[in-house]
A and B are shown apart, each in its own frame.
Chain A
């Protein structure tokens, strides 16, 4: 209920943020705090320094640049969910995150960087082929989502770096669907899938499907994506491709699902997400 003591800074620029993180010991960057603060209150995470980026101007924008859409580090879930510019998979994932109050405060970048294995938006960013933009002492670098999610609550971001934005490519069609813990779209995902497809002349030319809640981190269902490419995207093709969703994925059991059940749900939600994407 009560976090341990920590030092607090609220820098007014990203450069100041990087300076604050430099040699700070155990520091955590906070944007909305929806993921970090509950862990701190339960004393499961007790940083020495909290760097609150909430006062840095200019990070709360969704902007388009060429083929890419940039979502700044202070864009709240409700903004992502409500923006017509945001690809459907990510908008739906943001809409299914937390609840109204959490969506009013929490940020899309924060949810992605937190790397919870059952969160919604990481899978969407992964399926969309997004990149995470981080800034550190050595400048800015872009980490592809495929390299970003390392393990449960562990990502490729370094302790002295701050995530400044997520970029996702525009184009193609996408969708996200999940089974929440109380059923429907509520709460964390028992399992869910985001799908992205590109079609040319009636045939699927590119496809990515990402799973959440199934493995220790958001994971690509590579077998499904490969099987989709070259097909016409018919219900039969989807069903066949989706049946491979859990192939090669190391499925984790939890209170809400056995390994067998989660592997099964991976195929169901790969199918549902692909179907939705192709009907977008």
Chain B
């Protein structure tokens, strides 16, 4: 494994001492005096008219304080969404339910047991109606999911040079020439990218505490986007932006599911204003899939037309993505994110078309990777099928079709977006030339000689993250929906305290990424102050600078860069103060070991304590300098970042049962510069587990009536430690040129790179039996069935 640590190095995490002692504070751990508790009445039907709701008996039950229905909250309007295409969600079902588990009424009681007892006693008279669950059926528009919409297809994202006349003509000409030479192969497959339930181990939780004395709302929420939530609550209730404080304490995993504003967050705020008491709601695991967004849910046909020697002439993707019933934060924008990487790392012409279809199911939105795993899955699966069809090594096909390294930086993908930096050939070769990869090949060959069905899968990816450029708001992404002034910029504030300790306040809301550690490393390194003296705080909107949140692998590249630049500002000012004290030139001031030194004169130094003392005694400062020693920076990069990589997997299939096991997993990722190898590797491990889990285990299954059959962990199997191997990670380093750290982002790469790698390996294991594709997840029954189908 090669690692390059230009900025930090691996240090034990700052976050851990509390968490390993059981002292970490998550939302459900917070108890405010007088707290009331919520349980929701949820629809057992996916589509039904609500004839009546009778809460009279429930209201009489022990401990019940209030029961609210749509009549009580209609005046607050619909739940705000950033890309408001489709039907927005009512806070409580209003006359009709559109997905199973939709909240119909909210019970507030003295404790959770009593709240649930009363929720069970609320009588709702439903008139079930036909549910539209299948996306192809929905796309046919034979029946409408929402009567008021003209089509169930909310929007179709289409991109690629096949979309313009010149591109079409050039591609057609090439195909015609190849046909004339009888040198043409077309491979086409319809494949599913199944719906997933993100399943952070911490269920979402929220507490709202309205104080009408202060006229202020304090909300504790398990959210990735505290500032957006504060803005949404302020807008919904007509409060000033500074009258709502959102606090995201420890957040127990997010993965995109907490990158959303939820109806329950508005409802507990409403109830707290009504009751004058804190109101708390903690999801149960069982209701979470009905209440928190799901992800993926695509079906699409991928087609490659190419020559027999591996030159791809055209790639086409045509499919549908399931949006669920209601549009939330990013819903319809998720497939659009896929278009960014629709042509992958390749130079071949691409035509990409995905229809966003509404159905009577739970809303989909961002889940780790969000559009990019789907896009890369289709592209890399069909490329693997093409390579097998022409009997050429997949790596060779890739090398032949990659965008050449000479086009970087700033190469433009056929689909139309500009990259930052890239070195795809170098990266792929680093994997395929590695000892680890050779070992996989020899293990496979040895197993095959023993008659075992072992397969080796390879794939590579480019992804887009680190959002990003403020100009993105021009594409329809805009946090102004939630009242925020910011598009996607990052921010950080660095303050030197009187004892020369440092406080860094950031606007993001981490959920396990180790920001308190990494940011402290960044700032400590710049200031020459001991890492142990730097504290990073986050997650309280009243205290932190404007920030968007932790998602889309953006934090280091955007908010990290902002904190870094803030540290540089502080350092520049401190250098001037030190120069003034030491009667030297600011250019000669260097910082290390907690002091400023004059270069070349080791005995001339001044401590940070003395510098900060001067800073707050303006008469001691150079003339004209303002007092204080803190700085705030806002960073907006010129472009997103584009990490890439190549992965390989070894799987074994027991053809008698279909049981498929992942034996080995090897990666060669490139996320630019690395601040902490320890944390970066941890992000890759977790990302891999989720991509592998999509390939092998997880599947959100709805029946024809729209009931979710997999709402508990009994029926939605997540991998345990027994189901995964240890991973073998390596990396190449191609620094980004769009931020001062040269970092790219690593939160999603593992997920984006892995699902197709595992499926490619399973197909390799069973190719001799005639298997050409198996839809995910590779559960025993599906794999066995694929073998039977291939045999018959």
Contacts and interface: CB of A to CB of B under 8 A. Distances in A.
Chains A and B touch each other in the complex, with CB atoms below 8 Å apart: yes
A179 B780 contact: yes
Interface in A204-234: none
A255 B112 CA distance: 32
Contacts of B117: 4-5
B26 interface: no
Contacts of B659: 179, 183-184
A183 B284 contact: no
Contacts of B215: none
A190 B781 contact: yes
Contacts, number: 60
Given A183-B660, A184-B722, A190 B784 contact: no
Contact of A256 (B112, B113, B286, B779): B779
Nearest to A269: B657
A261 B784 contact: yes
A182 B717 contact: yes
Interface in A255-280: 255-258, 261, 264-265, 268
Interface in B612-660: 656-660
B401 interface: no
Interface string A168-203: 000000000001011110111010000000000000
B27 to A, nearest CB: 16
Determine the main DSSP class of A at the interface with B. loop
Interface string B748-759: 000000000000
Contacts of B779: 256
Contacts of A188: 714
Given A1-B112, A2-B112, A183 B286 contact: no
Interface string B704-720: 00000110101101011
A264 B784 contact: yes
B116 interface: yes
B697 A268 contact: no
B723 A182 contact: yes
Contacts of B236: none
B112 A258 contact: no
B42 to A, nearest CB: 13
Nearest to A265: B657
Given A1-B286, A42-B286, A255-B710, A183 B784 contact: no
A43 interface: yes
B701 interface: yes
B657 A187 contact: no
B661 A256 contact: no
A257 B781 contact: yes
Interface in A1-32: 1-2, 4-5
A186 B720 contact: yes
Contacts of A184: 659, 661, 722-723
Q: Which of B285, B660, B701, B722 gathers most chain A CB within 10 Å?
A: B722
Contacts of B717: 181-182, 187
B723 A183 contact: yes
Given A182-B697, A183-B660, A255-B710, A261 B785 contact: yes
A180 to B, nearest CB: 9
A179 to B, nearest CB: 5
A186 B722 contact: yes
B587 interface: no
B407 interface: no
A79 B445 CA distance: 43
A191 B712 CA distance: 21
User: Which one of B285, B658, B697, B781 has the highest number of Cβ atoms from chain A below 10 Å of its Cβ?
Assistant: B781
A188 B713 CA distance: 12
Nearest to B661: A183
Contacts of B712: 42
A250 B229 CA distance: 54
A34 B524 CA distance: 51
B54 interface: no
B72 interface: no
Nearest to A261: B781
Contacts of A186: 720, 722-723
Contacts of A255: 701, 709-710, 715
B29 interface: no
Given A179-B657, A255-B715, A2 B120 contact: no
A277 to B, nearest CB: 18
Which one of A1, A183, A261, A265 has the greatest number of beta carbons of chain B within 10 Å? A183
A43 B113 CA distance: 12
Contacts of A5: 117
B120 A43 contact: yes
Interface string B391-409: 0000000000000000000
B661 A182 contact: no
A250 B227 CA distance: 57
A2 B720 contact: no
B785 A258 contact: yes
B719 A268 contact: no
Interface in B232-260: none
B116 A2 contact: yes
A52 B470 CA distance: 63
B657 A268 contact: yes
B779 to A, nearest CB: 7
A189 B285 CA distance: 23
Nearest to A264: B784
Nearest to B286: A42
Contacts of B658: 261
Interface string B251-285: 00000000000000000000000000000000011
A202 B305 CA distance: 63
A183 B780 contact: yes
Contacts of A182: 697, 717, 719-720, 723
A261 B785 CA distance: 8
Interface centre among A42, A184, A188, A261 (most CB of B within 10 A): A261
Contacts of B720: 99, 182, 186
A179 B657 CA distance: 8
A1 B284 contact: yes
A4 B61 CA distance: 13
A86 to B, nearest CB: 23
In this complex, the member of A182, A184, A265 whose beta carbon has the largest number of chain B beta carbons within 10 angstroms is: A182
Contacts of B113: 2
Nearest to B203: A1
A137 B775 CA distance: 56
Q: Which of A1, A184, A261 has the most CB of B within 10 A?
A: A1
Interface in B690-747: 697, 701, 709-710, 712, 714-715, 717, 719-720, 722-723
21 contacts: A1-B116, A1-B286, A5-B117, A42-B286, A42-B712, A43-B116, A179-B657, A179-B659, A182-B697, A182-B720, A182-B723, A183-B780, A184-B723, A186-B723, A255-B701, A255-B710, A255-B715, A257-B780, A258-B781, A261-B781, A268-B656
Given A42-B712, A183-B659, 4 more contacts: A1-B116, A1-B285, A42-B286, A182-B697
Q: Please provide the 8 A-B residue pairs with the shortest distance between their CB atoms, ordered closest to farther.
A: A1-B284, A183-B659, A2-B113, A2-B116, A257-B781, A261-B781, A182-B717, A182-B723
